Structure formats: structure tokens, C-alpha cells
Structure 1
């Protein structure tokens, strides 16, 4: 009975080898890789796949702006205003006893008015350029890959590739016995 088992085992191995070589002869191209062989499938459809990418670009934005710079008070205006105020205060009433008080008050008021007038006249306006950095966003379409539909042995499959495959795509075929 032992020899009968050996003969049966040898016949089974020979049968599997025959089926395996028949499958290889049926059109599969051997790659030398023990995990499967390679063949080519007919490409049915190719669709490019895109994604939208936002791109930030910093940009300088400038404009002209009117700027006022106050001038220095002209001491001559203050002095002149004080003298005029003193003269007016002195002339108001020669006969009254508060003549000195009016002269001092007139000088103070005249000096304040002279200072204010001379400061306003010397304010200067300058046009200056102001700038700031602003971000500008644009959208750019970027190719991600290709959705490829292909036909192999009457069945259709779908995959995504990085490059356009052309009219055929290489597929790996792995045949194993179903027990």
C-alpha cells in the first residue's frame, strides 16, 4: 500500500506541473518572480484626475498719503504779539490806576495770539509713500494621476496610475490552486 501512495502522489505532482506549464503557455509572460507572472491588459478608458491647490503670493501694496507736520512756533510772532498786546493794554486808559495790570494782561493775550498764529502758518504738508505687505491667493489645478479602466480576460478593473498608460497596461497575474 505504501507504493500505491507514492504512485498516487507522483501522479498528482505531475498533473499539477502539467497544468502549471499549460497556464504559462496560455499567454502569460514570465517575470521570474515567484509571486506571479505579468501580462498586458487592454485599456478601455483613461481619465485625468486633478486637485485644486491654493498658492499664497506675498505682494507689496503702496499708496501716497498727505501728512501734516506742525512747525515750530516762531519766537518773533510771540514777541510781536506780546508788544502789540502791551501797547493796546497801555492805550486803553491813561488815567486809570490799573494801567500796569492792563499792560501786562494785554502783553500776555497778545503773546498767546501771536504764538498761535505763527504756529499755524508754519505747519507743513508732505506727501509720503506708505507700504504694507498683503497676501494674494490664487488657485492652481494640479494633475494628481489617471483613473484607468482596463479589460483583462473579459472582466473590467479600475486603478489609478501616476502616468498615462497608453493603450495597454501591465498587470500581474497570480494563479494558485483552489482547494
Structure 2
């Protein structure tokens, strides 16, 4: 083998080795992108306690000024005594007057009691209760993707605008993804 042939073989071998190494590196390196399969908005339930108040009409028994019903008893006794005094004569008149006083006093007392029980006042009262409001809050987007034949999911703040996610050293490069504007 002559010298130029030897030199050509060496150069050719080096070229084959270089090309093979580059091709092998590309094979080992893996894909440049992961394929986006689906994008789903992720929500969480947020519960907030709130005070809910309303005005309510309340009917109550009016405050009693004459708790022992003295006025009804006295007035009833006087009226009963006057009516009893109109009946009979002599000792019968005295007995009728005494019975009229006693009966009138009792009747006056009961009449005042009935009037007091029916005497009511209406006032407006504020009544409050705590209610829990529930709402959905967007927390991000679950992006399902395929990389090297395997499927996985990653949560992103915003959805990607394309159907590919860049990959570097076998890892997703989420900072290189151009996010879409959030959907309202």
C-alpha cells in the first residue's frame, strides 16, 4: 500500500468515525420536542364564609305598666259595687253590694289581663347568619404530552400556544414555551 492510499484510508476512516459519532450523538440526545396531546384547565373549589343579614318584623307583647292589674281590679270593684247596691234593700243590699264589689273586682282584673295580653308592639330586628359561598378558581392547565413514546402530564400556569414543548437534555423546557393568553 502506498503512502497516498494510506493517507486516503485514514482520512476516509476519520470522516466515517466523525459522521458516525455525530449521528450516534443525535440518537443518544433524544428528541428536541415533546408532543402536546391535550390541555385541560385545572380548577380548585374555594369556599368563603359570608355574613347574610335580613330585616325581620318581630311582634312582641307590649311592656305592662300595671303588672298586678290594680286599675282593672279597683275599677271593676267600683262598678260591681255600684251595680250590687242597686239590687235589694236592707241587709240584702249590703250583701249584693259586697258580692258586686268582689265579682266586679275579679271581672275587672280578668278584663285588664286580656287587654294586656292582646297589647303588642311590632319592631324590626336584624337577623344574621353565616353562609358559605363556593366558587371555582383556575389554578393552571394540565398539559398531557408524549416524549420518547411515554405519556405524562405537567401543570402549567398558562396553556401552550403550539402542539410542541421544547426538550433539552431529556427534560421539558417549560420556560421556553410561549403561553397563550388565559381564557376567561
Q: TM-score range by the shorter chain?
A: 0.5 to 0.7
Structure 2 matches for 1:29-178, cutoff 5 A? Answer: 40-69=33-62, 71-73=64-66, 75-95=70-90, 97-121=91-115, 124-153=119-148, 155-164=149-158, 166=160, 167=162, 168-169=164-165, 171=167, 173=170
Matched pairs, number = 146
- Other structure's SS at 2:158 match: coil
Secondary structure class of the residue paired with 2:86? helix
**108-117 vs 122-131, greater mean Cα deviation:** 122-131
Contact 2:46 2:136 (C-alpha < 8 Å) held by counterparts = yes
| Deviation string, structure 1 residues 87-120 (Cα, Å, up to 9, x no partner) | 222332114x354333222111112222333455
Q: In structure 1, how many angstroms separate the alpha carbons of the residues matched to 2:64 and 2:136?
A: 57
TM-score, structure 2 as length reference = 0.58
Match of 2:6 in 1: none
TM-score by length of structure 1 reads 0.59
RMSD: 3.7
- The answer on whether the counterparts of 1:61 and 1:134 sit within 8 Å (CA) in structure 2 is no
CA distance in 1, matches of 2:104, 2:159: 95
User: Structure 1: how far apart are the matches of 2:159 and 2:86?
Assistant: 108
